[in-house]
Structure 1
Amino acid sequence: MLVLACLAHNAWYWGVHKGAPVTDMLAMLPRDEQRPLAGQATQALADAGARRITVLIGGGQKDQAQRAADAFLQALGDMPARHRVADSEQQAWLTLYAPVRAGLLSPQARERLAKAPTEELADQALAALYQPVGGPRVGAWSDDPLNLFGQWLAERGQSSRVRVQDGRLMLTDPDAPDRHYALVLIELPGSGFEISAQRSLQPRLDAATQAAEGQGARVIRAGVPLFAAAASDQAEREIHTIGLGSLVGIVALTLLAFRSIRPRLLVALSMAVGLCVATSVSLLVFGQLHLVTLIFGASLLGVAENYGSNYFSARQGLAAAERWAMLRRQIPIVSLAMATTVIGYALLALPSFPGLRQIAVFSAVGLVAAFVTVLWWFPLLDGGGRMAPTRFADWLGSRRALWPSLKARGLLVLLLVSAALVAWGASRLRFDDDIRQLQSAPAGLVAQQREFARLMQAPGLAQFFVVQGRDEQRLLEREEALTARLRDMKLGAQAVSDWLPSLKRQREDAELAARRTAELRPVLADKLGQAVAPAATASASLAPQAWLASPASGPVRAQWLGRLGEGMASVVMLRGAESAEARSALAALQLDGVTWVDKVGEVSTLLGRYRQLMSAVLLLGFVLTWAALAWRFGRAAWRALAPTALACLLTVALLAIGGQVLQLFHILPLLILLGLGVDYGIFLLEQPGRSETRPFLSVTLAAASTLLSFGLLALSGTPALQAFGLTLLMGVFLAWLLTPFFLPPHA
């Protein structure tokens, strides 16, 4: 009944509901529980970026770039894309800002008005009057002799390298003025992390790129959806590789060991039930499944196979009537093995790490479901006849006799050799928790992103400030205080308050401009020999609601977070903060309502903290496992646990000797190794005799299956999974190799 319910749930979720795995890597990473505001701001920025792709087309003459952009847009079809700017949109800027221009001053204009003598200001106004070509100006010269509004508009334009030319968004390479690019903005209707959106986007984007390149243009694409699509494609390939490779290897082993496809089909059934139940329970607990969890689930096949292999290894040579008695003998042993493995997975759920918790629940539930399937279904489905041992099974089980029985002196020599290797590894041990070590995006995509950032001079997304205030105006005032400090530090900033000054700033600037202009007019009249008409008074002010509703808010609208936590919040983004010294100075900046966010540094610190925490959890796991073993084996429990403990130490040492820089994803698999390795000790210690072939057959088949599944993760292009797989590849082999050495010497 449970399995049928889970099957129905899976069919509804994947078929009717059209559910899809989550590919957003941020969903897997830990949140900084001490700074929830930073996490919320990061998620808001990520949500905005997950729908946007930016494309630069050109690299040659302007008309060539424009023709290539037209070809690109035509091939793109009806996908929402923007390259042209309508006259009505440009007019909307003036419609928004012209009525409030009296309160809009650039920082340079504000400083000049506050300090410059009236005579100097008059000379500047006359120079602007007689200059044949000047900056942008709105209205008559007499309305704004110093062109304060024009300077404010010009400063807004300088914040971006994109210019409107012939009604198009265009850009010129700062290092090569003869290279021009057309800018195309693509806004996806849904999140770029949705696999269905990625599959519909990628072919059309590739076709549009080919059309533009056919015009002799260069195409530079950037955006989060491109990285999500690359990660999704890679993960899908790895699911097929790992799942198929594991399945083929395990089928081959089963046929060799049991000469029948029935054991393979039943073992596959137990694994399918485990994955089905694990998927349903995980969806009910978390509401969604991450793609990394499903990749890990593919490797779970090899672990769940242990229980089926043990059943059929013990079943060999027995008549049908004996299988129930055999099962009663096996239940305590297999239950203990299952419990120790589940302990290893359950310990992954202890830290506040969303990805690990999902993997822990998925794996633990899947293993328990597969285990129960073996106990309840296999005796009813195994055919009921006598299972004659195969030649391969007899040969493989008899290999147990090749291991010498080590007494105290032999064990001491083994431990001394191991200690030497561990000491060598300890001398070369290095840790690096930098999240950038886990970067696995295609090199071509990364190169395009870097070239895009160079051409656009776009602000960085990994480091920024979150500003918070009790209301909109308090928020804007705090933003203005922050941007002033950043200007003093010679750092560029992109802030909402650059486009939407606070009401307080607007009033102060309007008063300053009116006072200095009133002082200026008599001097201008004297120099011109005629009266200067007074400007029309303007008392209007710009409110956030009007700004947000206007196209003028488009460039920085994503930085306005709105209500977040107990107040309003926004993001101030930075340019020129790449150096470690600059980031240190920014982190030390102390202003009310301002929070520094260095996402790369924070996540790297969290990974380091969890690495240390999971090392402590691993020690706890050994203690709990020893307690479970002592309940069954008493004083001999150390013989089942010591091989795995030694395998863990040797694995870390060999990784260090091999030049691996260790991080969290080298420590986590040691928890899995704890559960797997102890299983081998349990099965062999229960029947330790050198002539016993069935336990060693079961252990060897289980280890081989695990190496085929988890070991294949070492081939993954995802660094975290690669580290996971490589650690288990070495650890499982060492645990299997060492366990017979620790069996009682009289066995």
Structure 2
Amino acid sequence: MKLSLSALLSQKTAKLRFGLWLAFITACVITGGSLWQSGARIQSDILAMLPKVSESPITQRAMDQVEQQLANRVYLGLISDKQQTAIDAAKVAINTLKQTDDTQAAFIDINSADMAQADALNQYYFNHRFQLLTHSQQQLLQQGQWQQLTQAALEKLYNAFSYANSELLSRDPLLLYPDSLLALAPSQQLTVKQGILIATIAPSAEHPKPRFAAIVMAKGSDSAFNPNAQQVQLTALNLAFTAVKSQFADIDIIKAGALFHAVAATDNAKQEVSSIGLLSLVGVIALVWLAFRSLMPLTIAIITVSTSLLFAVVTTALIFGELHLLTLVFGTSLIGISIDYCFHYYCERLTHPNDSCEQVIKRIFAAITLALVTSVVAYSAMGLAPFPGMQQVAVFCAAGLSGAYLTLVLAYPTLARQPLKGANQALALANRYQGFMLARFTPKAGLAKTGLVLAVGIYLLAGFIQLSADDDIRQLQHTPADIQTEGNQLRTLLSGGTDNQFLLVTAATEEQVKQQLAKLDPVLAKAEQDKLIGNYLSLNRFLPSQEKQQLNYDLQGQIYLEHLDEIIASLGLDSHLKAELIRAYQAAKGNFINAESFFNHQAGASLKPLWLSPTANGDSGYGAIVLLGGINQLDSFAVRFNDNPHVALIDKVGDISTVMGHYRQLTFVLLAVALAVAGIIFSFRFSLKLAAVVVAVPALAALLTLASLGLLQNPLTLFHALALILVFGIGVDYSLFFAESNQQTRGVMMAVFMSALSTILAFGLLAFSQTPAINAFGLTLLLGISFTFLLAPFIQNFTRKPL
């Protein structure tokens, strides 16, 4: 082994290794360029990071269809003290948004009140009027009180605002159909004026008079999470806002939709990538200069970091086809880790100034190789998380460290041959710090050791008692307060809007689904009355069961087969209408409303995503989605469906949060396994006692970090757990170098000091991120690396021989 290692790292092979390194860099650049030209991109969609929840095929289809139904929608509220001003402003906004060239349209389906939809519903349902009755109409006919329906028709005829006309009377003499058509419209607080949806805003302290909000809705032609689409859509919206403001200066505009959250997340991530990466790089450069007082280590450090980042980006893009913005944010911390190789090399060279470059690399080769292996194992464990984004971070960092390692072995013998001069001051400071720590904080007497153990135990106990967990996926994204406020205001105006949770009704046949929807309707109405939900949208009113349609048809036989003469006479209609009315009624027998005809008609096109039919791939059964809005008490609401096997509350946010909790616990198990495996590996290199000590340092650092998070009232998340995996990977590096160094440790102390400081610079900055997930990741590493740095030097108490 020694012979082969000496041959590999000999001076004779330096040029060959440098040539391999250049070939490696060239291949990375060519591959990266090719990937970017072939479509690799930066991904900003936060949903792309979420875990895949295992669901039945029909449930998964339902979730996909709901996402497609709700995705990329933008809602605007144009608010004025005058209703007509709000209406006019909405018309200007709609017209401006529609003026974009169709080939570059930012939005599609731009509207307010959908008048075309109302006309389509009328066209479709009028042909099924004999199968339709309102609940009150049905009750009257069941009681044989058709005369009351005749009287109601007479009142409508003499009403100045009646919608009755001769054409309608000749086909629906009792005017039953208009009421059935009105019953299709969902109950809401909005009114329609001149084709525009209007919401009335109640007086407040700021605005003592009622105000009016005209609602405009649009659907983005591309994903709101696509950075290019974001800019196109924002430009179109700003043009519309400018057009509105130029004509109506007193108009207030509020907005809601995934677009505004996505733009905020993209801008925040870009800002953090640039600021954190830049500050980390500047900090590391300053650290190298202050430590070595030479341009050469600084140059080598930049080359090492650049190679590391290049290999990380290309490898991640090659495997995943894209780079997530959060991967780049997390990946900026790679600067503080990959440069460790440079630190260890130059600190070891300072310690042994007479050694050649190859001899220095041989001295640190075993420790640095073991360190790479354990770090890659740590990142691999992190990659087992169900988040594609976190899997990218694992690949990104593991590849980056591998690139730095190859740079040290292949390029340093050529690039870093020049010895350092006059840079021993930092080495002396590290030596004095090390001596101070060992002398002052190593307990000698048994009582002192017992007191130290007791103090640590009390600290851990106090922290662990206060530890809690929070696995809510909403921590993934930071939403600015103004966007959240506007969104909540628009949700209120839209009677609660639509939430991510929904009900899925399933059954073996279409008719059974319709019957289940009918049974569900009163339960939902009661939940709405009890303020558990704000509103709901069910297909029940659009797709009555065949059983109900048959009942309605049979009941109308009283009108058209038994009492038509009396009805015609009471209403003063032409008696010649009788034959045609009977013929139309009899021809309508069996003309049932069904899903296929409804959804293939313009009337049902917008509701089609709420219906699930069997698919060709073997997904049997039927299903219907019931959209929910303004959910106030999800648990209390869900209880109402526990005994119904045909109804399931689908809560993707809750399901993913549950998966996060599961993987958080699994990550801690993986951490324990990684510690045990590392201990076994190290036992082949060191004694069992020293191997246990090497592993104990990052283990104790992890425990102290958890206790500190508890004392800071910082709830545990999956991201804290993933960060602890890295604390282990980095902490083991520190322990390994001290264990390998035996008596000569001042160079290791200096390298570990610089490594810890550079890592804390990177991760400490992440702790100030506005995104809670990144903040958790950074804070955990800040604490963990600090504890590891403080603990690692005490390994010398087990490696140094007594004088």
Normalising by structure 2, report the TM-score: 0.84
Q: What do the CA deviations read for 1:277-303 (whole angstroms, capped 9, x no partner)?
A: 333333343333322112111122212
Number of the residue aligned with 1:357: 391
| 2:219 maps to 1:187 | yes
TM-superposed deviation, 1:696: 0.7
Give yes or no for contact 2:137–2:149 (8 Å, CA) kept in 1. no
Taking a change above 3 Å as real, the CA distance of residues 658 and 458 of structure 1, as seen in their structure-2 partners, is closer
| 2:87 maps to 1:66 | yes
Alignment of 1:347-426 (within 5 A): 347-382=381-416, 384-388=417-421, 390-398=423-431, 399-404=433-438, 406=442, 409=446, 410-426=448-464
| 3-state secondary structure, aligned to 1:157 | coil
TM-superposed deviation, 1:520: 5.0
Distance 2:613 2:210 in 1: 42
Give yes or no for contact 2:705–2:780 (8 Å, CA) kept in 1. yes
| 2:197 maps to 1:170 | yes
The one of 462, 467, 473 aligned to 1:429: 467
| 2:693 maps to 1:655 | no
TM-superposed deviation, 1:611: 2.0
Give yes or no for contact 1:141–1:147 (8 Å, CA) kept in 2. yes
TM-superposed deviation, 1:599: 2.5
TM-superposed deviation, 1:48: 3.8
Q: Which moved more, 1:694-703 or 1:203-212?
A: 203-212
Give yes or no for contact 1:50–1:225 (8 Å, CA) kept in 2. no
Distance 2:639 2:527 in 1: 9
Q: Gaps (5+ residues) in structure 1? A: none
Q: What do the CA deviations read for 1:106-156 (whole angstroms, capped 9, x no partner)?
A: 455445544563344343333333333346889423533443321222123
| 3-state secondary structure, aligned to 1:633 | coil
TM-superposed deviation, 1:719: 0.4
| 2:703 maps to 1:631 | no
The one of 642, 663, 677 aligned to 1:588: 642
Determine which structure has more spread, i.e. the larger CA radius of gyration: 2
Distance 1:552 1:161 in 2: 23
Give yes or no for contact 1:714–1:724 (8 Å, CA) kept in 2. yes
Distance 1:273 1:561 in 2: 51
| 3-state secondary structure, aligned to 2:556 | helix
Give yes or no for contact 2:496–2:630 (8 Å, CA) kept in 1. no
| 2:138 maps to 1:128 | no
Taking a change above 3 Å as real, the CA distance of residues 726 and 138 of structure 1, as seen in their structure-2 partners, is farther
| 3-state secondary structure, aligned to 2:323 | coil
Give yes or no for contact 1:316–1:389 (8 Å, CA) kept in 2. no
The one of 377, 381, 397 aligned to 1:343: 377
Alignment of 1:320-339 (within 5 A): 322-339=356-373
Q: Which moved more, 1:505-514 or 1:631-640?
A: 505-514
| 2:755 maps to 1:702 | yes
TM-superposed deviation, 1:185: 2.3
The residue identity in structure 1 corresponding to 2:759 is T
Q: What do the CA deviations read for 1:13-36 (whole angstroms, capped 9, x no partner)?
A: 33x245432222222122222555
TM-superposed deviation, 1:319: 6.3
TM-superposed deviation, 1:379: 1.7
Number of the residue aligned with 1:616: 669
Distance 1:386 1:546 in 2: 84
| 3-state secondary structure, aligned to 2:705 | helix
The one of 290, 293, 296 aligned to 1:259: 293
Distance 2:614 2:245 in 1: 44
Number of the residue aligned with 1:679: 733
Q: Which moved more, 1:636-645 or 1:173-182?
A: 173-182
Give yes or no for contact 2:537–2:627 (8 Å, CA) kept in 1. yes
Number of the residue aligned with 1:455: 493
Distance 1:713 1:561 in 2: 44
Taking a change above 3 Å as real, the CA distance of residues 9 and 718 of structure 1, as seen in their structure-2 partners, is same
Q: Gaps (5+ residues) in structure 2? A: 1-22, 101-105, 204-208, 530-534
Give yes or no for contact 2:78–2:254 (8 Å, CA) kept in 1. yes
| 2:796 maps to 1:743 | yes
Taking a change above 3 Å as real, the CA distance of residues 732 and 501 of structure 1, as seen in their structure-2 partners, is same
| 3-state secondary structure, aligned to 1:744 | helix
TM-superposed deviation, 1:706: 0.7
Distance 1:396 1:517 in 2: 104
Number of the residue aligned with 2:536: 493
Give yes or no for contact 1:496–1:557 (8 Å, CA) kept in 2. no
Taking a change above 3 Å as real, the CA distance of residues 250 and 587 of structure 1, as seen in their structure-2 partners, is farther
Give yes or no for contact 1:317–1:387 (8 Å, CA) kept in 2. no
Distance 1:136 1:373 in 2: 86
Taking a change above 3 Å as real, the CA distance of residues 74 and 486 of structure 1, as seen in their structure-2 partners, is closer
Give yes or no for contact 1:467–1:569 (8 Å, CA) kept in 2. yes
Give yes or no for contact 2:702–2:727 (8 Å, CA) kept in 1. yes
| 2:31 maps to 1:9 | yes
The one of 280, 285, 309 aligned to 2:314: 280
TM-superposed deviation, 1:587: 4.8
TM-superposed deviation, 1:445: 0.8
Tell me the percent identity: 29
The residue identity in structure 2 corresponding to 1:301 is I
Taking a change above 3 Å as real, the CA distance of residues 675 and 557 of structure 1, as seen in their structure-2 partners, is same
Distance 2:538 2:67 in 1: 17
Taking a change above 3 Å as real, the CA distance of residues 3 and 484 of structure 1, as seen in their structure-2 partners, is farther
Normalising by structure 1, report the TM-score: 0.90
Q: What do the CA deviations read for 1:511-547 (whole angstroms, capped 9, x no partner)?
A: 4434555455355357558776443335355554554
RMSD between superposed Cα atoms in Å: 3.1
Aligned length: 742
Alignment of 1:21-36 (within 5 A): 21-35=42-56
Distance 2:164 2:263 in 1: 43
| 3-state secondary structure, aligned to 1:187 | strand
Distance 1:366 1:494 in 2: 50
| 2:152 maps to 1:150 | no
Distance 1:415 1:516 in 2: 92
Number of the residue aligned with 1:268: 302
Distance 2:133 2:50 in 1: 43
| 3-state secondary structure, aligned to 1:55 | strand
Distance 2:658 2:741 in 1: 47
Give yes or no for contact 1:75–1:208 (8 Å, CA) kept in 2. yes
Taking a change above 3 Å as real, the CA distance of residues 515 and 285 of structure 1, as seen in their structure-2 partners, is farther
| 2:564 maps to 1:521 | yes
Q: Which moved more, 1:656-665 or 1:669-678?
A: 656-665
